[in-house]
Structure 1
Amino acid sequence: MTLSKSVPARPRPRPLAWLFVAMLVSLLAGCASVQTSGTPAARGPRSEAMVQAEALAQQAATQGGAQRLQTEKQIDTLLAALDNPTLQREAAALPAGHALYNYAGRALLRRGLPLPRPFDRSAWKFDAGNRPPAESDGYRPPVKLAVLLPLSGNLATAAAPVRDGLLTAYYGETRRRPDVNFYDTSTGASAAYDRAVAEGNDFVIGPLGRDEVGALFNRGALPVPVLALNRAQVPPPAGNASFSLSPEDEGLAAAEFLLDRNARRVLVIGAEDDTQRRAVAALRERLGERGGVVTDVVGEGTADFAPFAAKDGGVDAIFFAVKGGSARQLLPRIALAGLGGKPRVATSQLLSGTGKPEDDRVLDGIAFPSESWTTRGVRGLPSAASVAAVLPNAKGGAARLFAFGYDAWLITAHLEHLANSADGIAGATGVLRIDGFGNVQRTPAWSTFSNGIAVPLADAARH
């Protein structure tokens, strides 16, 4: 039996931690828009990669299923081989409605580069239905909102900070808000979605699991649009969207970060869990597409790094796909191998197991993707420390999921604006945009350690 729980638009004050959420109303000032900026370079000769990508984009428009996914992978590989000025120039030169523009625009967003114009929405468009007119900043939330999360069972612990972040943003909005209904997906996400539709909700946030999202998107056209909280192998049907904090995105971001600094030969030190393996695979693929290489992938238990440092061609940089405690133990061995001065980049897992500056000073200088809220702060949202002091579900590693839930509300309330504009929204997890295929693209903030404390990396974030 699927559980449904309604939250009225203006609820009574709640005890304990939720009293703090109500207090946030007076402090929250809405979200900030990030304008697209920059002028693409003047058009030059067309590259062979762009010519091939154009032909493939025409094919993809007539394909479906696995065949289309394979063609799109080839397009992404060709575009990844272009340098930034060439990609910007040739994307800007594509005529309106061209089949390749959405792929080129997505490639630009993944590099943190501005779009020359909004995405073409002829194939994917969002219909806000009968909602009241939008506010001047694009705020146009649903009338009745369903949230699909595992409220019980093994995944409830992970879902709790997502829920709390979403509700913090919801209660902090002083303008019109929808009724919110929560549905428990622990007994089946598809059944929860069907019940949400039957009960008159006009928009759905969730589900959370990758397989659940895939099963929902495989149904094709959906009667009520969805913002899925994960990314599946299946693209979102027209009018639906997906948002995730995937390890693949971190691997891609790390690869772009290194390539921007001319680091093309990267030694990877990775843990064995699935999350880190996925980040490493994405990093390896992106480096390969853009002329770089992973020289070796070694485990965190490696005792001697000298043989890897001595290989022909050397090592330009090191990528850590490990937690902070492991990184602290690895760095002396890295220094002994003569690699101590190389650029070092990590996944966000580096923060796990940190928090004592006297121990974490050894991590100084390692760059890692982070959430804007936890490192720089977000306009309208109290600091991560002050929220964590009252809400346990926003503390430590859960802060990332709290920020994710917060942004899920922002995207939902501004989805029409994001769909029709090249602008982004400054969210708690980073700058948020939506590509031409319904995928929310997140440009993360970047941080580093200084004197054992995580601080913003000033020159890393390009919006």
Structure 2
Amino acid sequence: MRSFLLVLLLALAGCANVAPKAPPPPPYAEATVQAQALAANHAGLAGPARRANSEAIEHLLAGLDDATLARDAARLPAGDPLYNFAGRALLRRGLPLPHAFDRGDIHFGAANRPAAEADGYRPPLQVAVLLPLSGPQAPAAAAVRDGYLAGYYAESRRRPLLRFYDTAGGAQAALARAAADGNDFAVGPLARDAVDAVFADDPPLPLLALNRGDRAPAPGSAAFSLSPEDEGISLAQALVERGSRHVLLIAGGEDAQRRTAAAAQAQLERRGVQVVARLDYAPQLDAALAGLGTRPDAVLLVLKGAQARTVVPQLALANLGQLPRYASSQITLGTGKPGEDMALDGTIFPTEPWLVEPVAGLPSQSAAAARVATAQGPAARLFAFGFDAWKLTGYLEHLALQPNAGIRGATGRLSLDGFGNVLRRPAWSRFSAGVAVPLADGAR
């Protein structure tokens, strides 16, 4: 007995020398915890308060590195309202989702239509296409319509019945007529205010809106856009991925240019990148460039071609010509003469794949332009947009239900976030010898 007590006392003495275990690390980063609290109340907000809350959540998540964002997203429980935000942040960075978004019971068409094909293709039975076929927006609508029909007639499998409705007299009235006519899905409208109007109440049909306004898509619907804001975010992501920390931003004064520049600057700053200066375009920027307080390590131009051709030589004179140089897609406006455009050599910019390389189901852009005016010049982007609207008509359910699903379209790789917004990762090109040359994935 005495020996047993001695052994016990020695064991207890040994335990006293064992260091206490460190507490386990918190399950989430502090920024994730803060974002989670904001997301919990997001559904009850509306208008400016909802937009501000969304921006605050995105700002918090943007401060996380890729590994932390992916880890915390995977740890979120099913149904956590933050997952839609975290998932969208992952998709914008080109990172995989840990699991699908919780979308409930959605169909994007009649529930009794034929089952999906092996690749996920499952179009509705009857589609109403809502476009401003008359009035001032008719030229833009014509390019979207022709691109949509090009995709429609290139599909050899089951296709839905199509019927076009003119929204010049009001998008809500056109949508009501489409529902009364027995359509089970709608594509459109095209104008931002019309999209907000149809999403103000629950629409009578699931629809793919062809713009993005202030209102989120209704449950069971989606929105697809070539918005300047989306392009600004893509440009910021490209700069972050190449390791830029100090960016000089030069932008023109048109509405689309201002919106692209604002979105790019906001996203860069969320990701911890300093915009050392945001200069308004002017023919002479020598003094402004010479007076930069911090030397940039990259340049972002939100300019048209002629504007960029005046700025790039001035960058060289300011000893900034060798820096990585990115530009918005507007740089292609006013280009096409290699002798002049050699001034832009080295500039990298986002573009629609169809404008620079073959896309399945479409003739080349030059071949299409020889046949129809709606595939020529600036309208070619809208033609490609219309083609992708058709692709989405058949694959929305697949994108919604399969995590990390995507389709390669004429405007880029398309996926669907948890809020019903189609996300687009564009292709990239670089000017070389005055000509835009496509870049391989990851080469930017």
Is the shorter-chain TM-score for this pair beyond 0.5, marking a shared fold?
yes
Number of aligned residue pairs: give it.
Answer: 419
Supply the AA of the counterpart residue of 1:112: G
Greater displacement, 382-391 / 145-154: 382-391
State how 1:416-427 maps to structure 2 within 5 Å: 416-422=397-403, 423-427=405-409
2:182 pairs with 1:207: no
Where do 1:282-431 residues align within 5 Å?
Answer: 282-422=263-403, 423-431=405-413
Instruction: Determine if contact 1:124/1:437 at 8 Å carries over to the other structure.
Output: no
Offset from partner CA, 1:74-100 (integer Å, 9 cap, x none): 111111111222212222222333221
Match of 2:246 in 1: 265
Distance change >3 Å, CA 301–CA 347, structure 1 → 2: same
Q: Residues 216 and 181 from structure 1, CA distance in 2 versus in 1: closer, same or farther, beyond 3 angstroms?
A: same
CA distance in 2, matches of 1:347, 1:380: 27
Farther off after superposition, 257-266 or 162-171: 257-266
Length-normalised TM-score, structure 1 = 0.86
**Structure 1: tracts of 5 or more residues without a match:** 1-42
Identify the match of residue 158 of structure 2 among 143, 157, 176: 176
Task: Render the CA deviation track for 1:208-254: whole Å, top value 9, x for unaligned.
Answer: 000110111012x2221110000011101100110000000111111
**Aligned twin of 1:145:** 127
Identity of aligned residues (%): 55
Q: Distance in 2 between matches of 1:238 and 1:356?
A: 47
Alignment of 1:67-216 (within 5 A): 67-122=49-104, 126=108, 128-216=110-198
CA distance in 2, matches of 1:268, 1:355: 24
Instruction: Give the 3-state SS of the residue equivalent to 2:232 in structure 1.
Output: helix
Counterpart pick for 2:422 among 440, 444, 447: 440
Q: Distance in 2 between matches of 1:140 and 1:309?
A: 58
| Runs (5+) with no aligned partner, structure 2 | 1-24
Instruction: Give the letter for the 1:383 counterpart.
Output: S
Q: Within 2, Cα distance between the matches of 1:61 and 1:301?
A: 44
Distance 1:128 1:341, change over 3 A: farther
CA distance in 1, matches of 2:278, 2:294: 16
With 421-430 and 65-74 compared, the bigger mean Cα shift is at: 65-74
SS in 1 for 2:321: coil
What is the alpha-carbon distance in structure 1 between the residues aligned to residue 181 and residue 40 of structure 2? 41
Separation in 1, partners of 2:107, 2:87: 16
| Residue type of the alignment partner of 2:167 | T
Task: Give the drift of 1:313.
Answer: 2.3
Residues of 2 paired with 1:127 and 1:356: CA distance?
A: 47
Query: What is the TM-score with the length of structure 2 in the denominator?
Result: 0.90
Which residue of 2 is the match for residue 37 of structure 1? none
Answer whether contact 1:445 1:461 (CA < 8 A) is retained.
no
1:217–1:426 Cα change, 3 Å: same
DSSP-derived class of the 1:119 partner: coil
Deviations 1:353-393 (A, max 9, x none): 11122221111111111111112321232221211121221
| Cα distance between partner residues in 2 of 1:323 and 1:460 | 25
1:274 aligned to 2:255?
A: yes
Residue aligning to 1:31: none
Structure showing greater radius of gyration is 2
Pick 1 or 2: higher relative contact order, CA cutoff 8 A, min separation 6. 1
Contact 1:309 1:315 in 2 (8 A): no
The structure-2 alpha-carbon separation of the partners of 1:212 and 1:275, relative to structure 1 and needing over 3 Å to count, comes to same
Range moving further from structure 2, 383-392 or 197-206: 383-392
Partner letter of residue 70 of structure 1? A
Equivalence for 2:219: 238
Distance 1:123 1:437, change over 3 A: farther
User: Could you tell me whether the CA contact under 8 Å between 2:127 and 2:161 is conserved in 1?
Assistant: yes
8 A Cα contact 2:283 2:307, kept in partner: no
- 1:4 counterpart residue number: none
Distance 1:117 1:186, change over 3 A: same
Shift of 1:309: 4.6
Runs of at least 4 residues of structure 1 off by over 6 A?
Answer: none
CA RMSD of aligned residues (A): 1.9
Change (3 A) 1:189 1:337: same
Return the alpha-carbon distance in structure 1 between the equivalents of residues 215 and 290 of structure 2. Answer: 40
**Greater helix content:** 2
Hey, what's the Cα distance between the residues in 2 that align with 1:239 and 1:126? 6
- The offset of 1:400, in angstroms, is 0.8
1-structure distance, mates of 2:289, 2:295: 8
Paired amino acid for 1:80:
A
Which AA in structure 2 matches 1:226?
A: L
Residue 129 of structure 1 and its aligned partner are, at CA, apart by 2.4
| Whole-angstrom distance in 1 between the partners of 2:52 and 2:70 | 24
What is the DSSP-based 3-state SS (H/G/I as helix, E as strand, rest coil) of the residue aligned with 2:128?
A: strand
Tell me which residue corresponds to 1:228. Answer: 209
Alignment partners' CA distance in 2, 1:299 and 1:202: 48
Contact 2:70 2:90 in 1 (8 A): yes
